Amino acid sequence: MAATILVVEDEPAIQELISYSLRQAGHVVFCAENAEQAMAVVNDALPDLVLLDWMLPGMSGVEFARMLRHATRTKTIPIIMLTARAEESDKIAGLEIGADDYITKPFSPRELIARIKAVLRRRSPEVADDMIEIGGLRLDPATHRVTVNDQEVVLGPTEFRLLHFLMSHPERVHTRSQLLDGVWGDHVFVEDRTVDVHIRRLRKALETVAKDELIQTVRGSGYRLSAARNAGMG
Ligand code: CA
Protein backbone atom coordinates (compact mmCIF):
# COMPACT_ATOMS: atom_id res chain seq x y z
CA MET A 1 0.00 0.00 0.00
CA ALA A 2 1.53 3.29 -1.08
CA ALA A 3 -0.34 6.30 0.23
CA THR A 4 0.61 9.96 0.24
CA ILE A 5 0.76 11.08 3.85
CA LEU A 6 1.12 14.58 5.25
CA VAL A 7 2.87 14.65 8.64
CA VAL A 8 2.21 17.81 10.66
CA GLU A 9 4.55 17.76 13.65
CA ASP A 10 6.70 20.55 15.10
CA GLU A 11 9.21 18.43 17.01
CA PRO A 12 11.98 17.64 14.50
CA ALA A 13 13.04 14.34 16.11
CA ILE A 14 9.49 12.97 16.12
CA GLN A 15 8.80 14.27 12.61
CA GLU A 16 11.94 12.51 11.37
CA LEU A 17 11.14 9.25 13.12
CA ILE A 18 7.61 9.21 11.76
CA SER A 19 8.56 10.09 8.20
CA TYR A 20 11.37 7.50 8.22
CA SER A 21 8.96 4.78 9.40
CA LEU A 22 6.32 5.74 6.85
CA ARG A 23 8.82 5.76 3.97
CA GLN A 24 10.10 2.35 5.08
CA ALA A 25 6.50 1.13 4.84
CA GLY A 26 6.34 2.37 1.24
CA HIS A 27 4.43 5.62 1.72
CA VAL A 28 5.15 8.97 0.12
CA VAL A 29 5.66 11.55 2.89
CA PHE A 30 5.28 15.32 3.06
CA CYS A 31 6.18 17.14 6.27
CA ALA A 32 5.02 20.39 7.81
CA GLU A 33 5.93 22.05 11.10
CA ASN A 34 2.76 24.06 11.51
CA ALA A 35 -0.75 24.52 10.16
CA GLU A 36 0.31 27.19 7.68
CA GLN A 37 2.89 24.94 6.02
CA ALA A 38 0.44 22.07 6.12
CA MET A 39 -2.17 24.16 4.33
CA ALA A 40 0.32 24.97 1.58
CA VAL A 41 0.94 21.23 1.04
CA VAL A 42 -2.80 20.49 1.01
CA ASN A 43 -3.46 23.35 -1.44
CA ASP A 44 -0.85 21.91 -3.76
CA ALA A 45 -2.26 18.38 -3.82
CA LEU A 46 -4.59 16.46 -1.54
CA PRO A 47 -2.77 13.81 0.52
CA ASP A 48 -4.44 10.43 1.16
CA LEU A 49 -4.15 10.94 4.91
CA VAL A 50 -3.03 13.57 7.44
CA LEU A 51 -1.11 12.70 10.62
CA LEU A 52 -1.69 15.70 12.80
CA ASP A 53 0.00 16.68 16.05
CA TRP A 54 -2.41 18.12 18.59
CA MET A 55 -0.02 20.73 20.02
CA LEU A 56 1.45 22.93 17.32
CA PRO A 57 2.89 26.45 17.50
CA GLY A 58 0.33 28.95 16.18
CA MET A 59 -2.88 27.29 15.05
CA SER A 60 -3.40 24.07 17.04
CA GLY A 61 -3.81 20.69 15.41
CA VAL A 62 -7.44 20.59 16.50
CA GLU A 63 -8.14 23.96 14.86
CA PHE A 64 -6.43 22.80 11.67
CA ALA A 65 -8.47 19.58 11.64
CA ARG A 66 -11.64 21.62 12.06
CA MET A 67 -10.59 23.82 9.14
CA LEU A 68 -10.03 20.77 6.92
CA ARG A 69 -13.43 19.37 7.88
CA HIS A 70 -15.18 22.62 7.02
CA ALA A 71 -13.83 23.06 3.50
CA THR A 72 -15.57 21.13 0.72
CA ARG A 73 -12.32 20.13 -0.94
CA THR A 74 -10.73 18.72 2.22
CA LYS A 75 -13.62 17.55 4.36
CA THR A 76 -13.21 13.86 3.60
CA ILE A 77 -9.41 13.59 4.09
CA PRO A 78 -8.71 10.89 6.70
CA ILE A 79 -7.09 12.45 9.79
CA ILE A 80 -5.19 10.72 12.60
CA MET A 81 -4.44 12.94 15.60
CA LEU A 82 -1.15 12.51 17.50
CA THR A 83 -1.00 13.65 21.06
CA ALA A 84 1.03 13.49 24.22
CA ARG A 85 -2.09 13.97 26.26
CA ALA A 86 -3.85 10.79 27.24
CA GLU A 87 -6.90 12.29 28.89
CA GLU A 88 -10.20 10.83 27.84
CA SER A 89 -11.76 14.29 27.36
CA ASP A 90 -9.09 15.18 24.78
CA LYS A 91 -9.70 11.96 22.94
CA ILE A 92 -13.39 12.75 22.78
CA ALA A 93 -12.68 16.31 21.60
CA GLY A 94 -10.42 14.94 18.86
CA LEU A 95 -13.00 12.50 17.62
CA GLU A 96 -15.73 15.13 17.82
CA ILE A 97 -13.99 17.42 15.36
CA GLY A 98 -13.98 14.50 12.95
CA ALA A 99 -10.59 12.82 13.39
CA ASP A 100 -10.66 9.19 12.23
CA ASP A 101 -8.32 7.95 14.91
CA TYR A 102 -6.23 9.16 17.78
CA ILE A 103 -2.77 7.96 18.83
CA THR A 104 -1.12 8.81 22.13
CA LYS A 105 2.64 9.44 22.25
CA PRO A 106 4.85 7.56 22.68
CA PHE A 107 3.79 5.00 20.09
CA SER A 108 5.73 2.37 18.18
CA PRO A 109 6.23 2.73 14.41
CA ARG A 110 4.52 -0.63 14.02
CA GLU A 111 1.42 0.60 15.82
CA LEU A 112 1.37 3.78 13.73
CA ILE A 113 1.61 1.86 10.44
CA ALA A 114 -1.15 -0.53 11.52
CA ARG A 115 -3.48 2.33 12.49
CA ILE A 116 -2.83 4.12 9.19
CA LYS A 117 -3.61 0.96 7.29
CA ALA A 118 -6.85 0.45 9.21
CA VAL A 119 -8.00 4.02 8.58
CA LEU A 120 -7.14 3.87 4.87
CA ARG A 121 -8.87 0.53 4.46
CA ARG A 122 -12.00 1.97 6.02
CA ARG A 123 -11.95 5.39 4.39
CA SER A 124 -10.10 4.99 1.08
CA PRO A 125 -10.21 1.36 -0.05
CA GLU A 126 -8.68 2.31 -3.42
CA VAL A 127 -5.43 3.19 -1.61
CA ALA A 128 -5.21 -0.16 0.17
CA ASP A 129 -3.49 -3.05 -1.58
CA ASP A 130 -6.30 -5.54 -1.10
CA MET A 131 -7.27 -7.88 -3.91
CA ILE A 132 -10.82 -7.15 -5.11
CA GLU A 133 -13.13 -9.56 -6.89
CA ILE A 134 -16.53 -8.56 -8.25
CA GLY A 135 -18.70 -10.51 -10.65
CA GLY A 136 -15.82 -12.83 -11.55
CA LEU A 137 -13.49 -9.95 -12.34
CA ARG A 138 -10.41 -9.92 -10.14
CA LEU A 139 -8.09 -6.94 -9.64
CA ASP A 140 -4.78 -7.20 -7.82
CA PRO A 141 -3.36 -3.75 -6.94
CA ALA A 142 -0.03 -5.24 -5.86
CA THR A 143 0.74 -6.80 -9.24
CA HIS A 144 -1.45 -4.44 -11.34
CA ARG A 145 -3.14 -7.46 -12.92
CA VAL A 146 -6.78 -7.81 -13.85
CA THR A 147 -8.00 -11.31 -14.58
CA VAL A 148 -11.11 -13.39 -15.22
CA ASN A 149 -10.56 -17.11 -14.57
CA ASP A 150 -6.79 -16.57 -14.99
CA GLN A 151 -7.31 -14.88 -18.34
CA GLU A 152 -5.59 -11.50 -18.22
CA VAL A 153 -7.30 -8.26 -19.24
CA VAL A 154 -4.82 -5.85 -20.78
CA LEU A 155 -5.42 -2.28 -19.55
CA GLY A 156 -3.61 1.03 -19.88
CA PRO A 157 -2.54 2.75 -16.63
CA THR A 158 -5.49 5.17 -16.58
CA GLU A 159 -8.02 2.43 -17.28
CA PHE A 160 -6.45 0.38 -14.50
CA ARG A 161 -6.81 3.23 -11.99
CA LEU A 162 -10.35 3.92 -13.16
CA LEU A 163 -11.31 0.26 -12.74
CA HIS A 164 -9.58 0.12 -9.34
CA PHE A 165 -11.54 3.15 -8.18
CA LEU A 166 -14.87 1.78 -9.45
CA MET A 167 -14.23 -1.67 -7.93
CA SER A 168 -13.27 -0.06 -4.60
CA HIS A 169 -16.63 1.71 -4.49
CA PRO A 170 -19.01 -0.73 -6.16
CA GLU A 171 -22.76 -0.13 -6.58
CA ARG A 172 -22.31 3.62 -6.11
CA VAL A 173 -22.98 6.10 -8.89
CA HIS A 174 -20.02 8.40 -9.54
CA THR A 175 -20.38 11.63 -11.47
CA ARG A 176 -17.74 12.49 -14.04
CA SER A 177 -16.26 15.13 -11.75
CA GLN A 178 -16.08 12.64 -8.84
CA LEU A 179 -14.23 10.23 -11.10
CA LEU A 180 -11.86 13.00 -12.20
CA ASP A 181 -11.12 13.83 -8.54
CA GLY A 182 -10.69 10.20 -7.51
CA VAL A 183 -8.76 8.90 -10.49
CA TRP A 184 -6.97 11.85 -12.05
CA GLY A 185 -6.45 13.93 -8.89
CA ASP A 186 -8.36 17.02 -7.88
CA HIS A 187 -5.94 19.55 -9.35
CA VAL A 188 -5.77 18.10 -12.82
CA PHE A 189 -7.73 20.11 -15.31
CA VAL A 190 -9.15 17.73 -17.85
CA GLU A 191 -12.55 17.82 -19.44
CA ASP A 192 -15.45 15.69 -18.29
CA ARG A 193 -15.56 13.90 -21.59
CA THR A 194 -12.05 12.55 -20.91
CA VAL A 195 -13.83 10.28 -18.44
CA ASP A 196 -16.12 9.01 -21.20
CA VAL A 197 -13.15 8.28 -23.42
CA HIS A 198 -11.47 6.15 -20.76
CA ILE A 199 -14.73 4.43 -19.78
CA ARG A 200 -15.13 3.46 -23.44
CA ARG A 201 -11.57 2.05 -23.52
CA LEU A 202 -12.15 0.20 -20.27
CA ARG A 203 -15.37 -1.37 -21.57
CA LYS A 204 -13.63 -2.38 -24.77
CA ALA A 205 -10.90 -4.16 -22.79
CA LEU A 206 -13.49 -5.85 -20.58
CA GLU A 207 -15.39 -6.99 -23.67
CA THR A 208 -12.55 -9.42 -24.36
CA VAL A 209 -13.57 -11.35 -21.24
CA ALA A 210 -17.32 -10.58 -21.54
CA LYS A 211 -17.32 -8.36 -18.45
CA ASP A 212 -18.08 -4.99 -20.03
CA GLU A 213 -21.59 -5.02 -18.56
CA LEU A 214 -20.10 -4.50 -15.11
CA ILE A 215 -19.55 -0.85 -16.05
CA GLN A 216 -22.97 0.74 -16.17
CA THR A 217 -23.98 4.16 -17.44
CA VAL A 218 -26.49 5.93 -15.25
CA ARG A 219 -28.12 8.45 -17.55
CA GLY A 220 -27.76 12.05 -16.44
CA SER A 221 -25.57 11.07 -13.48
CA GLY A 222 -22.44 9.14 -14.33
CA TYR A 223 -21.10 5.64 -14.01
CA ARG A 224 -21.39 2.72 -11.66
CA LEU A 225 -19.73 -0.67 -11.34
CA SER A 226 -22.19 -3.34 -10.41
CA ALA A 227 -22.36 -7.10 -10.61
CA ALA A 228 -26.17 -6.81 -10.55
CA ARG A 229 -27.85 -6.80 -13.92
CA ASN A 230 -27.95 -3.52 -15.74
CA ALA A 231 -31.61 -2.58 -15.82
CA GLY A 232 -31.39 -1.19 -19.34
CA MET A 233 -29.95 2.12 -18.26
CA GLY A 234 -26.90 2.01 -20.49
CA1 CA B 1 3.90 19.33 19.18
CA-CA-CA-CA torsion sign (59, 62, 64, 70): negative
- The pTM assigned to this predicted structure is 0.73
Interval between CA 44 and ligand 1 midpoint (Å): 24
pLDDT at 221 over 70: yes
Interval between CA 53 and ligand 1 midpoint (Å): 6
Cα dihedral 118/123/125/129 (nearest 10) = -30
Predicted confidence band of residue 230 (pLDDT cuts 50, 70, 90): low
Predicted confidence band of residue 72 (pLDDT cuts 50, 70, 90): confident
Interval between CA 103 and ligand 1 midpoint (Å): 13
pLDDT at 232 over 50: no
Domain covering 4-127 in this structure, CATH number: 3.40.50.2300
Q: Please state the rounded mean pLDDT for residues 33-42.
A: 97
Q: How far from chain centre, in Å, is Cα 126?
A: 6
Q: Please state the rounded mean pLDDT for residues 32-37.
A: 97
- Class at the top of the CATH hierarchy for domain 132-225: mainly alpha
Out of 92-106, 128-142, 179-193, 205-219, the most confident range is: 205-219
Q: Delimit the domains of the chain by residue range.
A: 4-127, 132-225
